[in-house]
Structure 1
Amino acid sequence: MKRLRIMARHDSVIAMALLFVAGTSWLILNGGALVWACVPIGIGLQLLNEYNIHRHLFHLKPPRNQMFFNLLYRAHYGHHDFPTCEKLLFVPIWFALPMAGVNFALVYGVASLLGLPAAPVAVAVVLVGGVGMFLAYEWFHMTAHMNARKTAAERRVTQLHAQHHFRDFSKWFHVSPGGEIIDKALGTAIDRDSLRQQSRIEFITTLGLRPDDPRLLKARARFAQMAGLSAQDLQRAAQMPATAHKTN
């Protein structure tokens, strides 16, 4: 119940849950067997979507422009900077809803070209399969950052996601159960033994940026109130680790 209450505090989760309920209700009233069979396609496509967005968009090279840096910080960099901050944990609504709209339009267009019932297929693939899998992602991602009793699947996700955060942020981009196969197929999986032999990644929680990088300082200040970060939190985040090698 605690985790459900946490999710219910975030507008992006609420909005996506409403889309899922609307899509599922529509399918129950109007969808045939062929349309319902499209739901698993949406689940698979969302797993790919999750991986590609995380790897290729959320882990973009840090922009020089502060406005773009701030957007990326709010979308994902800030979560690495403050991994346990609830307000930076969930995908923001200004990203989640447009992505759902883009996905719906793409699936609608492809279904039309293939001569399939475009609207029902798009509802099944995007609003039910895709959005349902997105909500599962948010659940497992939240759980990975919580000290709570976990199922076997949740423990596995937590183990691999911790490696992404604290051992090598260029590996293990999946979070949802089943996404592990995508990391393995695309070469971004790494086992524990390999991680032990790998050189330490400097400034790992800031994705390679110096903790006192001016862009980080400005972004932290920009979102401090929204995220509930204190002046002490910001000060600690900007401190160089004692073992860090300073570079120009």
Structure 2
Amino acid sequence: MKATLAILINMGTLQRLFPFWLIGVFAFFYWFTPWFLLALVYGAILQFFVEYVMHRFLYHREPPTEQSVFNDLYRSHIGHHEFPNDAEYFTGGDHWYALRFAMVSLALHSLVLWPFLGFGTAVLISYVALFVGSVSAFTFYEYCHTLAHVNVPKGWFGQRVTRSHLAHHYQDHQATFHVSFGMGWIDRLFGTKHDRDVARKRFDRDTILSMGMDPEDLRLVTARKAFGITKLPRGKLTRNQATESPKPST
């Protein structure tokens, strides 16, 4: 628990969202209305769907051919698959992204609700939904994700989260896109539930850590160099190295 929380506390994304979450909590109690309870539920569920959609369609999209765009995707997700136990790659490099996303979402929700509730109420309900409901759900996601990857003693909850998420990393990166505990129904809803037989057919030990890409793909090699990575994924040998004859010891 302590090791997991230490990583969360140092996450730049959560640090930037925290003041806005505190403001939302204050607003929730100071201007309380039963509608806020519905807003919290809506915001949390919305975030769980955002978690799934971004993971599946943004982070696992077809690898870009343009190197600069590929580097962004590498830093935001591919690097995490190649080095899943390195806390440096638990999150992307843009720590302001989540806050910008939340602000845009706040503006859109406020505009939709404005004609029905009035401007002030629309903004207030949208703020509580997104900066309390969604940010709380996002923090829970980051907790589950971090817990799945850190090597610490785990109880029933931690084991369930770890078993589910690491199946995505080490068995089938084309399934199990949810991470948060209890959200497996979203994968079932969209047909990406983990299936052992399908996973066995898809599994390729040479490419599983690079999300289906050849680990010697020039884009991967260039991206690793761009971020100062000198080690190979999980310390595995490349195909060429694996076939080379070992040098005699002296």
Q: Which amino acid aligns with 2:98?
A: A
Q: How does 1:93-132 map to 2 (within 5 A)?
A: 93-115=95-117, 117-132=121-136
Q: Which amino acid aligns with 2:50?
A: N
Structure 1 residue 183 corresponds to structure 2 residue 217: no
Q: How does 1:103-182 map to 2 (within 5 A)?
A: 103-115=105-117, 117-182=121-186
Structure showing greater radius of gyration is: 2
**Distance in 2 of aligned mates of 1:41 and 1:121:** 11
Q: CA deviation at 1:237?
A: 6.2
Match of 2:247 in 1: none
Q: How does 1:206-217 map to 2 (within 5 A)?
A: 206-217=210-221
The answer as to whether partners of 1:70 and 1:219 remain within 8 angstroms in 2 is yes
Q: Which amino acid aligns with 2:117?
A: G
The answer as to whether partners of 1:83 and 1:145 remain within 8 angstroms in 2 is yes
Q: Which amino acid aligns with 1:129?
A: G
Secondary structure class of the residue paired with 1:211 = coil
Q: Which amino acid aligns with 1:122?
A: S
Q: Which amino acid aligns with 2:142?
A: E
Secondary structure class of the residue paired with 1:38 = helix
Q: Which moved more, 1:60-69 or 1:212-221?
A: 212-221
Q: Which amino acid aligns with 1:52?
A: V
Instruction: Indicate the RMSD between aligned Cα atoms, in angstroms.
Output: 2.2
Structure 1 residue 89 corresponds to structure 2 residue 90: yes
Q: CA deviation at 1:190?
A: 2.0
Q: Which moved more, 1:175-184 or 1:187-196?
A: 187-196
Q: CA deviation at 1:192?
A: 3.5
The answer as to whether partners of 1:212 and 1:239 remain within 8 angstroms in 2 is yes
Match of 1:59 in 2: 60
The answer as to whether partners of 1:173 and 1:188 remain within 8 angstroms in 2 is yes
Structure 1 residue 240 corresponds to structure 2 residue 242: no
Q: TM-score, normalised by structure 2?
A: 0.86
Q: TM-score, normalised by structure 1?
A: 0.87
**Distance in 1 of aligned mates of 2:127 and 2:202:** 46
**Distance in 1 of aligned mates of 2:165 and 2:195:** 12
Q: CA deviation at 1:142?
A: 0.3
Q: 2:203 aligns with which of 185, 197, 200?
A: 200
Q: Which amino acid aligns with 1:107?
A: H
- The share of aligned pairs that are identical, in percent, is 32
The answer as to whether partners of 1:163 and 1:172 remain within 8 angstroms in 2 is yes
Structure 1 residue runs of 5 or longer lacking an equivalent are: 244-248
**Distance in 1 of aligned mates of 2:207 and 2:103:** 36
The answer as to whether partners of 1:210 and 1:240 remain within 8 angstroms in 2 is no
Structure 2 residue runs of 5 or longer lacking an equivalent are: 244-250
Number of aligned residue pairs: give it. Answer: 237
Q: Which amino acid aligns with 1:152?
A: W
Q: What per-residue deviation string (whole Å, max 9, x for no partner) do you get for residues 128-149 of structure 1?
A: 0001110111110000001223
Q: CA deviation at 1:240?
A: 3.0
Structure 1 residue 31 corresponds to structure 2 residue 32: yes
Q: Which amino acid aligns with 2:100?
A: P
